[in-house]
């Protein structure tokens, strides 16, 4: 029996990272439109949201994040990408789920 090579799992990790970015954008948008920009803990994003609105700010931020994820994927930094995906799920997506669904 051969072990699955990490490279074979890399597209799955990239997909998880991108889904995490999309979920974070959707939940953050819901949170800031429902509760106000003050709930956004990232000062840079909160400032940009006040200046140009949450939709444009989040779209831009998530496109940049996805581009960074693609860079990690293309340069075979799959473990770093996996850590980033896990952090986004644990530090961004899950807390927003708790705040918005509680």
- Note the pLDDT tens digit of each residue in 21-62: 999 999 999 999 999 999 999 999 999 999 999 999 999 999
Given a cut of 90, whether residue 83 has pLDDT beyond it is yes
Evaluated on CA atoms 36, 40, 43, 45, the torsion sign reads negative
Domain ranges of the chain: 9-101
pLDDT band at 1 (very low <50, low <70, confident <90, very high): low
Given a cut of 90, whether residue 7 has pLDDT beyond it is no
> Which pTM does this prediction carry?
0.88
Predicted local confidence at residue 3, as pLDDT: 55
């Amino acid at each position: 029996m051969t072990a699955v090579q990490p490279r074979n799992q890399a597209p799955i990790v990239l997909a998880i990272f991108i889904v995490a970015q999309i979920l974070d954008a959707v939940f953050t948008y819901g949170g800031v439109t429902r509760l106000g920009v003050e709930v956004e803990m990232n000062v840079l994003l909160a400032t940009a949201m006040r200046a140009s609105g949450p939709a444009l700010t989040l779209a831009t931020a998530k496109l940049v994040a996805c581009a960074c994820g693609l860079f990690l994927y293309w340069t075979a930094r799959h473990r770093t990408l996996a850590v980033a995906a896990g952090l986004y799920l644990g530090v961004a997506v899950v807390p927003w789920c708790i705040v918005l669904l509680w």
